[in-house]
């Protein structure tokens, strides 16, 4: 909005105010409140018009040109905000901060005071209309701090402002991408100086990147800022936090203070996430395995969408968190499995729990909105219903506490819920509730006598006037006395003139004040009638004010009980996840895996949960398979080399092994008949083909970069699945790369690995690599056609059946026929023979490294070995250098 912010010509007072506020918020679209609309002007209006598809109009002149303008109704603002935020924009909400009547008192041309009350960004959303119910909405901050013992370390903090959860931790620069991929934040704060360095890691998450200045991430001020936000004397109150963690947490709270302006969101004290607590899964692996969303970014079709049988939004969010970060501690994993097993064994209780949870609202988000000052009557009702549901569920969960420590802990948290608050809310709130508190009508009749009286005056003024009229008629004995109303006198008492004359002389004369004499009638008023008239006039405002006061009192009770409410919400979510996973196990035939600290990995009749579900929907069976990547008492994992045709199921076989590890360590049962899994600390997947043109990477380069990351970092506890490594380049180049990669996995990484390939020549490596096992996907030929059996068995594929697959895909018959002819000629040339000889003659990967050492008979090397640097004078060193150059020339 350059033309607006650089204005120097005289403008209207309203536009002058707009320009001033916009200048203070140059990076945000300004929602400028004008009555029942939020208006946008200048460049903001043009952007909003394009993004929202709303009409662009004009309003007056500025610097001799028309001022572009568009607006959205206040009542529908949330819908438009959602679309603007999704398009990557930030919005500054500017409200009227005074009553227009007050502005008029300063003069007819005075402008109503306005100010920005909130900056709306992707990571600071709280409204239901702006949030996905089943997805956490995280704001993350990354800060780099110089470490005492090693270069630099990164502090990574994240908060969900919609629930108040707050966590901090550390990571290394090389693991930042994996850490952010696990969190899947909506917005990431990055210091401006580190923007280019860390932008690729943020890009992998599809989060909005928000650069922030050094003042926000200054480690020297972080401790005071974080302690001040929570009102504690020192950050030591939060436990042992590093400087990097404190700096990242402080960046979060300062950013929230600056964007929320008028209010401060309640936050839980930062919880430290220890390093090595969760399975490390990089962004590429998450995408390849489609853990929480598909490659196209959709939830439907992902692993999470298939296993999520939760009946509450909070349960779905917790399940997504567990799938994104599977545990590494076998004891903690076992506790989760115990809870699922206890609910599997108690079907009646499980059904009762799920039915009750299905009626339980989202307590965490409702309590947060109320405590944050953004809640409404329906949020209070959600808290009431959730607390009442928790009370009922506590008894059911407590009955299972003996079989599961986790269920016992959940039961205790539910029992500790604030049931007095639930009773108060139930006694106060009406059955039918408005969305907004400003609409009133949400307090139950009988909850407050003053409110009942105000409502009676507002809603039943005729009856109140009739009762007063009857009392006056009885007191004066004038049956024709009437109370009437007009716009001049307001309410008045009217009697026939004869009765009026007597009334002036009666004992009631002091009470009845004469106001007007008409032909045949006289009019009076009383102090009581005047007060009643005033009260009737103010009744609507009074009723609303009383309701708002009641709302604020209840909101205060919610704020005071916020920590307890969060604990209750967490317990409800955990119970929902346990019950949902038990339902999944029973419904889909999943079994409890045995998870320990060994390097074991054995799956019996394992299945791919997503593919199986899709086949079931089509009425087709899924063919299960075993997978073994370990041997008893071995100090390293097996590498399984899988050959076979495309469409035979190799990729499915690879992925289902990886998904079994994720499910098992997330605390779920797995789709198999039996499973033994030694904890997997890192999961790697290189499956499929994709380019990254934005970073200048071809499909093959992406494949090589991802493969390099695996070979450089995978350790003995890792699980690696690789599919078609080397197929993106020339045949012998690709074969060589795949060959070397297998040797490296076997000799250096020593991890459990599944390696699918079409290079059949590699199967001969099993003769020299003791922990390499060959397996093949079985097929059968029938009357010239290939039948895929989808069975994986020990052995080697004799060919790839690529031409048969091409025929199924619909290649022209002439192309298929020609391909067969070319294949026959190539096979006749016996291309495999040289490779077979190389398997026996070429040294192993480790031996290749040994051969690269200097030859001891080389004179140059002998001369180098003879040098004693500490004994050389400067002149002697120069002479040695000349001698070495002479040897080099020789």
Tens of pLDDT, residue by residue over 768-781, are 899 999 999 888 87
**pLDDT tens string 250-287:** 999 999 999 988 678 899 999 998 777 899 999 889 99
Share of the chain above pLDDT 70, in %: 91
Element (H, E) at 626: strand 625-628
Is the pLDDT at 794 greater than 80? The verdict is yes
The kind and range of the H/E element at 602 are strand 601-606
* Segment of 294-308, 316-330, 851-865 carrying the highest mean pLDDT: 316-330
Q: Report the pLDDT value the prediction gives residue 851, as an integer from 0 to 100.
A: 42
Mean residue pLDDT across the chain: 87
* In 457-593, beta strands by DSSP E: 482-486, 490-496, 513-518, 521-525
Q: Residue 689: its pLDDT value, please? A: 54
Q: Is residue 695 scored above 60 in pLDDT?
A: no
The pLDDT of residue 693: 46
Which pLDDT belongs to residue 136?
A: 95
Residue 150's pLDDT is 62
Phi, psi of 311 (to 5 degrees): -105, 0
Those residues with Cβ within 8 angstroms of residue 692's Cβ, 6 or more apart along the chain or in another chain: 701, 702
Confidence of residue 660 (pLDDT cuts 50, 70, 90): very high
pLDDT (tens digit, 9 = 90+) per residue, 716-756? 999 999 988 877 676 778 888 889 999 999 999 999 999 99
Q: Which residues contact 562 (CB under 8 A, 6 or more apart)?
A: 164, 266, 367, 371
List binding-site positions for ATP: 644-651
Reply yes or no on whether the pLDDT at 665 is more than 60.
Answer: yes
Average pLDDT over residues 526-531: 90
Q: Are strands 772-782 and 785-794 parallel, antiparallel or unpaired?
A: antiparallel
Nearest partner of 280 among 638, 566, 649, 685, judged by Cα: 685
Find the mean pLDDT for residues 227-245.
90
**What DSSP element (H or E) covers 675?**
strand 674-678
* pLDDT the model gives residue 309: 97
Looking at residues 564-589, what average pLDDT do you find? Answer: 97
The arithmetic mean of pLDDT across residues 360-375, rounded, is 94
Judged against a pLDDT cut of 60, whether residue 796 lies above it is answered with: yes
Q: Known binding site: residues?
A: 644-651
- Report the pLDDT averaged over residues 502-514: 86
Closest Cα partner for 754 from 681, 687, 664, 666? 687
What pLDDT score does 414 carry?
A: 93
Please give the average per-residue pLDDT across 615-640, as a whole number: 93
Which residue matches tokens 């959730």?
386
| pLDDT (0 to 100) of residue 845 | 58
Q: What pLDDT digit, counting tens, does each position of 384-440 carry?
A: 999 999 998 998 887 787 788 999 999 999 998 888 999 999 999 999 999 889 888
3-state secondary structure 520-545: CEEEEECHHHHHHHHHHHHHHHHHHH
Average pLDDT of the segment spanning 129-138? 92
Please report, rounded to a whole number, the percentage of residues in the chain having pLDDT higher than 90. 54
Segment 527-552 shows an average pLDDT of: 88
Average pLDDT over residues 319-329: 96
Using 50, 70 and 90 to split pLDDT, how confident is the model at 669? Answer: very high
Structural contact between residues 543 and 454, judged by C-beta atoms closer than 8 angstroms: yes
Q: Which of 564-568, 642-646, 651-655 has the lowest mean pLDDT?
A: 642-646
State the pLDDT at residue 835: 58
Most trustworthy range by pLDDT among 262-276, 584-598, 683-697, 827-841:
584-598
Q: What integer is the mean pLDDT of 589-599?
A: 96
The confidence score (pLDDT) of residue 439 equals 86
Compute CA distances 79 → 53, 353, 434, 797, whole Å.
13, 35, 18, 57
For 828-864, what is each residue's pLDDT tens digit? 665 545 556 566 666 665 544 444 444 445 677 777 7
What the chain holds in terms of domains, given with CATH numbers, is: 2-120 (3.40.1170.10), 132-275 (3.30.420.110), 308-418+561-588 (1.10.1420.10), 467-541 (1.10.1420.10), 594-846 (3.40.50.300), 859-889 (no CATH)
Q: 844 or 173, which is more confident?
A: 173
Cβ-in-10-Å burial (0-12, 13-18, 19+) of 270 comes to buried
| Residues contacting residue 98 through CB under 8 Å, at least 6 positions apart | 112, 113
Q: What pLDDT, on a 0 to 100 scale, did the predictor assign at position 833?
A: 52
């Amino acid at each position: 909005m350059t033309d607006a912010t650089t204005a120097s010509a005289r403008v209207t007072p309203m536009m002058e105010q707009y320009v001033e506020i916009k200048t203070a918020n140059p990076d945000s679209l300004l929602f400028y409140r004008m009555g029942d609309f939020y208006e946008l002007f200048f460049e903001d209006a043009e952007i909003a018009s394009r993004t929202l598809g709303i009409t662009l109009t004009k309003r007056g002149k500025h610097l001799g040109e028309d001022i572009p303008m568009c607006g959205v109704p206040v009542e529908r603002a949330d819908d438009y905000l959602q679309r603007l935020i999704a398009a990557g924009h930030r919005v500054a909400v500017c409200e009227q901060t005074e009553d227009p009547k007050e502005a008029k008192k300063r003069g007819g041309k005075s402008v109503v005071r306005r100010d920005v009350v909130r900056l709306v960004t992707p990571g600071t959303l709280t409204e239901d209309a702006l949030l996905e119910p089943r997805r956490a909405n995280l704001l993350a901050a990354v800060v780099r701090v110089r470490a005492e013992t090693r270069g630099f370390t990164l502090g990574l903090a994240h908060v969900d402002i919609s629930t108040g959860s707050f966590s901090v931790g550390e990571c290394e620069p090389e693991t930042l991408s994996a850490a952010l991929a696990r969190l899947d934040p909506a917005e990431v704060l990055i210091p401006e100086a580190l923007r280019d360095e860390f932008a690729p890691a943020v890009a992998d998450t599809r989060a909005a990147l928000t650069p922030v200045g050094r003042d926000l991430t200054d480690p020297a001020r972080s401790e005071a800022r974080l302690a001040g936000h929570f009102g504690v004397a020192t950050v030591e109150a939060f436990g042992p936090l590093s400087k990097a963690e404190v700096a990242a947490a402080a960046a979060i709270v300062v950013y929230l203070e600056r964007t929320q302006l008028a209010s401060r969101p309640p936050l839980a004290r930062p919880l430290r996430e220890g390093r090595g607590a969760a399975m490390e899964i990089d962004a590429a692996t998450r995408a390849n395995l489609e853990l929480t969303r598909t490659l196209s970014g959709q939830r439907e079709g992902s692993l999470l969408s298939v296993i999520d049988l939760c009946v509450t939004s909070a349960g779905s969010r917790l399940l997504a968190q567990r799938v994104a970060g599977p545990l590494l501690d076998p004891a903690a994993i076992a506790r989760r499995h115990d809870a699922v097993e206890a609910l599997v064994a108690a079907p009646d209780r499980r059904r009762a729990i799920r039915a009750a949870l299905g009626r339980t609202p989202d307590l965490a988000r409702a309590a947060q909105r109320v405590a944050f000052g953004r809640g409404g009557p329906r949020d209070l009702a959600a808290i009431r219903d959730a607390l009442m549901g928790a009370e009922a569920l506590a008894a059911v969960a407590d009955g299972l506490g003996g079989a599961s420590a986790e269920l016992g802990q959940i039961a205790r948290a539910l029992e500790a819920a604030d049931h007095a608050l639930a009773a108060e809310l139930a006694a106060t709130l009406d059955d039918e509730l408005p969305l907004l508190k400003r609409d009133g009508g949400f307090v139950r009749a009988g909850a407050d006598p003053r409110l009942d009286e105000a409502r009676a005056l507002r809603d039943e003024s005729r009856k109140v006037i009739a009762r007063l009229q009857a009392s006056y008629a009885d007191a004066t004995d004038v049956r024709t006395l009437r109370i009437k109303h007009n716009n001049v006198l307001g309410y008045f008492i009217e009697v026939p003139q004869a009765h009026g004359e007597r009334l002036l002389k009666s004992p009631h004369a002091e009470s009845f004040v004469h106001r007007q004499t008409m032909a045949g009638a006289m009019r009076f008023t009383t102090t009581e009638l005047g007060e009643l008239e005033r009260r009737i006039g103010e009744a609507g405002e009074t009723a609303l004010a009383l309701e708002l006061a009641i709302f604020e009192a209840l909101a205060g009770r919610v704020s005071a009980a916020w920590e307890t409410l969060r604990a209750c919400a967490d317990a409800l979510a955990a119970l929902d996840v346990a019950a949902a996973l038990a339902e999944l196990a029973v419904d889909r035939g999943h079994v409890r895996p045995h998870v320990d600290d060994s390097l074991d990995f054995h799956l019996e009749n394992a299945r791919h949960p997503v593919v199986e579900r899709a086949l079931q929907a089509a009425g087709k069976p899924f063919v299960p398979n075993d997978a073994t990547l370990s041997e008893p008492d071995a100090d390293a994992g097996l590498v399984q080399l899988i050959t076979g045709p495309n469409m035979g199921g190799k990729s499915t076989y690879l992925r289902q092994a990886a998904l079994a590890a994720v499910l098992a360590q997330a605390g779920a049962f797995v789709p198999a008949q039996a499973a033994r899994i030694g904890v997997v600390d890192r999961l790697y997947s290189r499956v499929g083909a994709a380019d990254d043109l934005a970073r200048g990477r071809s499909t093959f380069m992406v494949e090589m970069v991802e493969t390099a990351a695996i070979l450089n970092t995978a350790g003995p506890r890792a699980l690696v699945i690789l599919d078609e490594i080397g197929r993106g380049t020339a045949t012998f180049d690709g074969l060589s790369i795949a060959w070397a990669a297998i040797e490296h996995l076997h000799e250096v990484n020593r991890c459990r690995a599944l390696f699918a390939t079409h290079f059949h020549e590699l199967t001969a490596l099993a003769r020299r690599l003791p922990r390499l096992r060959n397996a093949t996907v079985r097929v059968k030929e029938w009357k010239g056609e290939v039948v895929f059996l989808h069975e994986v068995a020990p052995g080697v594929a004799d060919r790839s059946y690529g031409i048969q697959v091409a025929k199924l895909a619909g290649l022209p018959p002439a192309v298929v026929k020609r391909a067969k002819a070319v294949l026959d000629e190539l096979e006749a040339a016996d291309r495999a023979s040289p490779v077979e000889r190389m398997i026996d003659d070429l040294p192993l990967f480790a031996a290749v490294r040994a051969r690269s050492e200097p030859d001891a008979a080389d004179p140059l090397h002998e001369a180098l070995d003879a040098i004693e640097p500490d004994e050389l004078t400067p002149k002697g060193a120069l002479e040695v250098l000349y001698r070495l150059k002479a040897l080099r020339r020789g």
